Amino acid sequence: MASQHLILLLAIFVSLCVAAIGQGNKIVPFNPSCSTTGNYSGDSQYKKNLDQLLSTLATAATDDGWFNTSSVGTGGDDQVFGLIMCYADRNPTQCKECLAGAPAGITQVCPGSRTVNANYDACLLRYSDVSFFSVADKTVAFNVYAKSYVENMAAMNETRWQLMSQLAETAGQTKLRLDTGSTRLGSTSMMYGLAQCTRDLAVSECSTCLSDYIVQLSKIFPNNSWAAIKGYSCYLRYDLSPFGITLPPSSPVPPPSSTRSTGFVAGLSVAGAVSFMVILGVSIWLLLRRRRKHARLMREHQEMEDDFEKGTRPKRFRYDELSVATDFFSDDCKLGEGGFGSVYKGFLKDLNLEVAIKKVS
């Protein structure tokens, strides 16, 4: 009997340990904001869209440098908008665990809520039925701080203000919407800072959100040795000890789009057509030039033959030409008689030549 009680107690103890371990492995948000009005039901279209969104956010963020904004649905009350981002002062393992765990467990933390804002140690998760992209939410979700203090409060505040203001200005101008830096505090200490916004924000929205948090730092933590403020759109941290910063991996270079490929092929086709037309035109010009040259050579050859024939063949004269040359066969030009007729002396003016012309009887 005692052994049965012992086995039962051991089973209960093991179950509690397993439950405790399982609870410890969960990614738990700090003070999440869960809407309480207009909640969705378990079989609603919004629930289906939300489940689809949450199932893809982690992978999309991993592929997109630890940040992603997405939406599911085609408009109306059932469309859901989501955002997830890792904090830059957490290592890659912490980031990946948060990206995977936050979407998986948030519906248990905020069951039925249509709008949720949740900060975790390593990441931020937001979703809503209304688009919040590109608009800074300046709500302070929570803050953490050290209970150690700096004696020179004035120097502390001045140094922190200058460092964090500079980071707030430059963070919004970077592609990752974050910046880090350090400066000297007094003669022996250093101060380190981090300013980060969600990457959907414009430069002005990011800088304004961070500037508001800098004011909060001065009010809430006048001389704490380190502190951090996390919200739903921006994050500030300063520390007198250095802390690690992990930048997201570079996104792979996307393959050329079909439009560019089509344009390239079209460009080649046009270039090929132009080249063909140029070659064809030059070929036709050369052919015509060759034919003209051949015709000219043939014409010159014919003229040479004509000239040759004119110079070598007997010259034929008409009767009237011979009659004029002999003064119409007058007796004064008659040289004598010969076989078959009389012979006359004549003068061919065109040839400047004296000739003997026989008039056949």
Give the Cα separation of 11 and 197 in Å (integer).
48
For the chain, the straight-line distance linking the first and the last C-alpha, in angstroms and rounded, comes to 176
Give the Cα separation of 138 and 156 in Å (integer).
25
Using CA atoms of 225, 90, 178, 213 in order, give the dihedral in degrees to the nearest 10.
Answer: -40
**Backbone dihedral angles phi then psi of residue 39, each to the nearest 5 degrees:** -60, 150
Give the Cα separation of 144 and 227 in Å (integer).
6
**Backbone dihedral angles phi then psi of residue 32, each to the nearest 5 degrees:** -70, 150
Give the Cα separation of 92 and 233 in Å (integer).
21
CA distances (Å), origin 211, targets 121, 196, 198: 22, 11, 15
Q: Determine if residue 293 is labeled as part of a ligand binding site.
A: no
Binding residues: 359
Q: Which residues are annotated as a binding site for ATP?
A: 359
